[in-house]
Amino acid sequence: MNPETVKQRVFKQMGLESSLAVILIVGLGVTGISVARFLKNIGVDFSLIDSRKQPPNLSQIKEIFTDYDIYTGGFPDSKFIGVTHLFVSPGVSLREPCIAQCLARGVKLVSDIDLFAYCVDAPVIAITGSNGKSTVTTMVELMAESAGKKVAAGGNLGVPALDLLADEIELYILELSSFQLERVTALKPQAAVVLNVASDHMDRYSDIEAYAKVKRKIYDHAKICVVNIDDRRVLAMVASEQKQLTFSVAKIADFSVQEESHSQWLVYGNKAVIARSKILLVGDHNTSNALAAMALAITVGLPIESIVSGLMHYQGLPHRLQIVSTAHEVIWVNDSKATNPSSCIAALMAFDEQVILIAGGDCKGADLTELAAIIKQHVRMVILFGRDADILEEALQNSVPIYNSETLEGAVLVAKEFARAGETVLLSPACASFDQFKDYQERGNIFVQTVRRVAA
């Protein structure tokens, strides 16, 4: 699309002439830089600000945006005076006093997803949920590729939404976090799904209902709402007049699991589509993910044979129940993406036998009650590490043997000492990684490296 055409479309949607706009991008992370790059390419002026004195890659950012004002080291009120439009990165809370004051006086909050929505012409699938977002996003992407579609997937996963835009793309698949959704108003997806709602990010939301309210926004302008009827909060999100497709692993739905010829099958209506045994991922949560992906694929006209091909060839993502080693008959599993209690619970439920669980990190204020009950049933011993290890230990109340380690590497060594042949050692932290690591990928990579070094 021509940059001048894009510029005209963007400012028409904003309802403002470009000469009158005073745009401030808050946050020099991946999203903020994506927005800056987009606005620069269409010839729009802006400033950038970050609370950190030395954000990552600051020198490169200054080289790229030499003609733009860049402020670091805080959010002084003076930098927000006269601003007409704010782009606030998902990692920055809207409760920051200077941001809250801007919004209170009518400054327009625009997100990278809104900019994307202003420009996109091809159908969009939007995916959110406490768990499973990346799995479903990549499942649908593989289905679309199997159908020969030119597809682009990203958002919260991988490539920022604005960087996906291209004239040749026939289908966009966006993974969206709650932090992204709370600042989105313009997105009108062909289909949207909230996979599930569980306690997460309670350090940013007052309670789980406030968190669920933000997740619900993904359905606001969706043409088709894909609904998990196994989750009561999700079920309550969609109005009766909205077009729906339902899925369930436990009930009759548009997409469900049924017994056919002494085997379990994933079913669309009355049609058996694929045997559950043909899907490479284990656990009810991954079966639910597969059903959601099937429903989303149907909404954009993907053929059944491409859906089946995508499911049969999908091997999962790194750091999500990833088998790392089976040396000496001990199975080591990397589930570092389990950054909240509900995802850890789903991982534990995927195993028939009791496991040795390695957990810990930043609990984000989550309720650990249900996790503690599941650990008591499914875990032989727990090895805790990270900042909130004491909070986890208190929640477990000595219901299982507990060992502590200051580091993840140390936890692996403890697990090696106690693991028996035939057992599984599972890293499923139930916590965010930012107390000790850059992100969950770094945490998972260190686990994999340590296991491969010591387990053999």
Write out the catalytic residue numbers: 133, 156, 201
β strands within 132-290, DSSP E: 151-155, 171-175, 191-194, 224-228, 244-247, 255-260, 263-268, 271-275
Q: Which residue has the tokens 């940059």?
A: 3
d(CA 380, CA 393): 15
Query: Is residue 113 within 8 Å of 137, Cβ to Cβ?
Result: no
Per the document, the length of the chain is 456
Angstrom distance (rounded) from CA 22 to CA 19: 8
Phi then psi for residue 350, to 5 deg, are -80, -10
Look at the block and give the residue holding tokens 């109340």.
397
Contact 429, 362 (CB under 8 A): no
Residue whose C-alpha is closest to residue 410's, from 441, 447, 381: 447
Q: What are the residues whose beta carbons fall under 8 Å from the beta carbon of 417, sequence distance 6 or more?
A: none
CB count, 10 Å around CB of 170? 14
